[in-house]
Each structure stands twice: as structure tokens, then as C-alpha cells.
Amino acid sequence: MTTAPAPIPAVARRSRRAVGVPRPQKKRRSSNAPRKSWTFTIVTGVFLLYSIFPLIWLLINATKSQQDFVSTFGLSFGGSFAFWDNIVEVFTAQNGIFTRWLLNTLMYVVVGAGGAVFLAVLGGYGLAKYRFPGRNAVFLVVMGAIAVPSAALAVPTFLMFAKLGITNTPWAVIIPSLVAPFGLYLMYVFSMESVPTELLEAARMDGASEFRTFFQVSLPLLAPGIVTVSLFTVTATWNNYFLPLIMLKDSAWYPLTIGLNQWNQQAYIAGGTPVQNLVIMGSLITIIPLIVTFLLLQKYWQAGLSAGSVKE
């Protein structure tokens, strides 16, 4: 028959503490556990409201007629819900000129921004993965071009295009849009981090040509970076204002930014008919494609932005 062990006397317990036997400690909360910060939450909420306030103002005023827009407060609804009427009027005003401006903008984005992304991918990949004479000089030129604001080059570009006789044509907007130094730099960084040199050497040892290595091995790895550069370039071309303003005189070639500003200026021209309701609705229609594009490509965009931020 077994007997229960006798309890440890108090003297023995004190002696164990005296010789340094540690007490059993309670489990502490992991330092990696997320901590709530009300200050950070409030500051983030304020910035969120600040960011979406223009969109809220745009949505509310897009439901107003021209008369309600003039007679009501900006954040209050009008007497009638004219949202659908404004959409119809935007696309039918001045024989459908808004549709022409929209198609012009799409053309500038597809040809100009698309060409800029294509050149940035090729240039960035070439600078990152090939060694050739003058490589450092080319890289310094690219970095210097990033530091020069595009507005500073608009007037010299206009004078040069005027000598060539291509002002007031789509090429006056498309050709400058093909140059994207920041996009080329992003593709350079992404190519350095995402395409292992060992993988390229293995493909070459298997007999793959340089073109096949690029299109079948490197290009899939560059997809997040290409999406990131595409979003930056498309947004810059879609919202481009100053370059078309000085290059184009014919309203038939205007992009949306210049066309909507022309409608907005009618309120300040003697004898002009104010059409702020059309400007508001046109602005809302203009930003919808950008919002949809960012939401659909958000995953790839975030992956592209984080490229090179963590060193393995």
C-alpha cells in the first residue's frame, strides 16, 4: 500500500528560496501581440475622413441640378435627385464632346502610358541584369531625370515640337508620356531583387536565348513591379493637365482634364452658361476607372511597393 508524500516543511521551502531556486513564473503575454493605441486610431481616422471628404462632396453634388448646385450648401442634397439626368446630359452636351474627351484620354493612356511601361520594363531590366560600357552613366542620367520636374520641361518641349510642327496633335501628348524615369528606376530596383542571376544563368545553360529567358523566366517574376509602374504611369497620364494645356488648342483632342476645365470656365465668361453640375458629374465619371483599377490590382500593387524593402 502506497502512502502520500509528506508535505514540504516551511523551513525547507525557505531554504530552497535561499539557495536561489526560482519560483514558477506566470506566462507573460507575447511581445509580438498587437497592442491597441487609441491615439493612433484617432489620427488614422482623421486622415481617413480627410481623404474621403472630397469624394463624399463629389457624390452629394453629383445628385444636384445646376439650380440646386447654386442655391444649396455643398454637403446638403438638392430639392430634386438629378443624378441620372446629369449623366445623360454629360454625354449629350455639345454633341457628345465628353465622349470624345474620354476616348482621347484612353488613347493617351494606352499608347503613352503603355509605351512608357514597356520602355521602363526593358530599360530597368537591362540596367539591372546586364553589364555594358556606359551603364553607370546611363543610370546617373536616369536619376537626374527623376529630380527634374516635368513642368520645367513643358515649355522647352513645346518649343521643340513647334519646330517639328506636331503641336496641336495627339503626338505632342503621347511622345513626352513615353518617358518615365521614375518607372524605369522602380523596374531597376525590382529586377535586382526579384530576378535571381542564378536562375538566368541556369536558363542560358539550358540553351534558352535572351529573349526567351526574358519572356518566360523573368517577366512572370516582374509582374508585381510591372503592375506598380503601370498604376503610377496610368494615373500620371490620366490626370495630366499642364502638358495638354500648352500643347493642344483644338478641343477635339482635349483629354478629360482640359475639357472639364473648359466647361468650368464657362461660368466666368461673359454670356457663358454655367454648367457646374456637368463638371461635377464629369469629374465623378473621370475618377471611377482609376478607383476600380486600384481596387482590382491592389494585391499586386502592394507587392510591388514592398519589393526591395526587406533584405534576406
Whether 238 has a pLDDT exceeding 50, the answer reads: yes
3-state SS class at 99: helix
**Mean pLDDT throughout 136-161?**
89
Whether 18 has a pLDDT exceeding 80, the answer reads: no
3-state SS class at 96: coil
Whether 192 has a pLDDT exceeding 50, the answer reads: yes
Q: Which three cell numbers stand for residue 220?
A: 512572370
Whether 284 has a pLDDT exceeding 90, the answer reads: yes
Rounded CA-CA distance 168/161 in Å is 10
Alpha-helical regions (H) of the chain:
10-18, 38-61, 66-71, 83-92, 97-107, 114-129, 135-147, 150-164, 171-177, 181-194, 197-205, 210-212, 219-221, 223-238, 242-247, 256-265, 276-296, 298-305
Rounded CA-CA distance 103/259 in Å is 12
pTM: 0.80
| 232, amino acid identity | F
3-state SS class at 94: helix
Report the pLDDT value the prediction gives residue 39, as an integer from 0 to 100. Answer: 87
Whether 175 has a pLDDT exceeding 90, the answer reads: yes
Rounded CA-CA distance 137/164 in Å is 29
Rounded CA-CA distance 89/65 in Å is 11
Whether 105 has a pLDDT exceeding 90, the answer reads: yes
Residue 108 near residue 174, CB atoms below 8 Å: yes
Whether 82 has a pLDDT exceeding 90, the answer reads: no
Report the pLDDT value the prediction gives residue 312, as an integer from 0 to 100. Answer: 43
Report the pLDDT value the prediction gives residue 308, as an integer from 0 to 100. Answer: 46
Q: Which domains does the chain have, with CATH numbers?
A: 97-305 (1.10.3720.10)
3-state SS class at 115: helix
Residue 208 near residue 217, CB atoms below 8 Å: yes
Q: Which residues of 29-53 are buried (b: 16+ CB within 10 A; e: fewer)?
A: eeeeeeeeeeeeeeeeeeeeeeeee
**Mean pLDDT throughout 192-218?**
88
3-state SS class at 191: helix
pLDDT band (50, 70, 90) for residue 273: confident
Q: Which three cell numbers stand for residue 184?
A: 524605369
For residue 154, give the nearest of 275, 261, 242, 28 by alpha carbon.
242
Whether 34 has a pLDDT exceeding 90, the answer reads: no
Residue 235 near residue 106, CB atoms below 8 Å: no
Q: Which three cell numbers stand for residue 152?
A: 520645367
pLDDT band (50, 70, 90) for residue 271: low
Rounded CA-CA distance 188/21 in Å is 59
Report the pLDDT value the prediction gives residue 293, as an integer from 0 to 100. Answer: 86
